[in-house]
Amino acid sequence: MAGGPAALTVDDVHEAHKMLSGVARATAMEGSRYLSGLVGTPVHLKCENLQRTGSFKIRGAYVRIAGLSEEERAAGVVAASAGNHAQGVALAASLLGVRSTVFMPVGAPLPKVAATRDYGAEVRLHGQVVDETLAAAQEYARETGAVFIHPFDHRDIIAGQGTVGLEILEQCPEVRTIVVGVGGGGLAAGVAVAVKALRPDVKVIGVQAAGAACYPPSLAAGHPVAVDGLSTMADGIKVGRPGEVPFRIVEALVDEVRTVSEDALSSALLLCLERAKMVVEPAGASPVAALLSEPETFDGPVVAVLSGGNVDPLLMQRILRHGMAAAGRYLSLRLRLTDRPGALATLLGVLSDVDANVLDVIHVRTDPRLGLTEAEVELHLETTGPEHCAELSTALRAAGYRVMA
């Protein structure tokens, strides 16, 4: 794949596709009746969460490492990542017989650290944030001669990720819009290169978390701009500055980059789990979040790329509860009641009458804020939606309870 970034073409993506034969899976595409009804046009899910290592990253990592010279391979490769890229590089290097070292933040989820080791990499924990980990990996490359494998800012990486676009066109030739999550931009750039060359009429829409959106200001400025204070549950697309190589491609070929809220991300993850029976990480659910946020703005048929499914179980638990709250299906409230025998049982009876599912009860009887005959109860309830929440609150007030929150 000779030439500079501007020379990246669909032929490079086709070459990458051949290289990945027998390595990366041609992942399934599943229809979604719920999303199709919401958007008003067929919606399909491209399931890269079912890819080897749990995300699309194996595609670009393998193409990049396979393109190294024998001398470069002998020196080994090094990468920095909190999860998906780490696993992609580890497996790709193992398949190609190349030694790999992966730097991960000290607080990286233990399942991701274990998986990276299992795929054959030497894992070094360094730094509290990815920027510190990245700096350590680059220093290691300078000291040892190992080749640094960037997660998105290299044309071979982009060509590998672009094979997702080729598969989409083959699996859904009638597609009109492709929606893909955007972090540094490698996946969106690769998909755009492949799709726009073969089907220029197809829209490619990128999605970023609103709390970590580096592309909108960069596109407005005409060059990559770094943003600070990143805050999002979608760590897979939590990138402070676009890559130089993917930025130029995204600028030229991607039709639009949108942002989505944390509530939309958690609701999308919950929807994928409940309706599509898919375990998807927040970054992977970002295209679905965009569909939920503005369903009437997409030309169909639509393909949403579920880019990854590597989510820490503890984070999943918190996100699902957040998603239920965002969907009006989880209600937390505090109320005061008279501290007498049977008072709590009476309260629970009221909740039972309106079919609320009680998840947790915290009963406080001794507190300086309480009167002599008062007790406070904090309730965590599962409901069927906003209307049920309103019905429940009305029933409590009608029964004489003072709802505090």
Question: Which are the contacts of 141, defined by CB distance < 8 A and separation ≥ 6?
Answer: 78, 147, 148
Question: Which are the contacts of 149, defined by CB distance < 8 A and separation ≥ 6?
Answer: 61, 64, 65, 77, 78, 79, 85, 89, 157
Edge-to-edge, what's the strand order for the sheet holding 147-148? 122-125, 100-104, 77-80, 147-148
The DSSP result for 148-170, as a single string, is E--SSSSHHHHHHHTHHHHHHHH
What distance in Å separates the CA atoms of residue 300 and residue 40, rounded to the nearest whole number? 8
Is residue 307 annotated as part of the catalytic site, yes or no?
yes
Q: Are 163 and 24 in contact (CB under 8 A)?
A: yes
Is residue 266 annotated as part of the catalytic site, yes or no?
no
What sign does the CA torsion over 127, 131, 135, 140 have? positive
Q: Are 266 and 326 in contact (CB under 8 A)?
A: yes
Choice among 46, 55, 57, 286 that is catalytic: 57
What distance in Å separates the CA atoms of residue 285 and residue 181, rounded to the nearest whole number? 8
Q: Which residues belong to the active site?
A: 57, 307
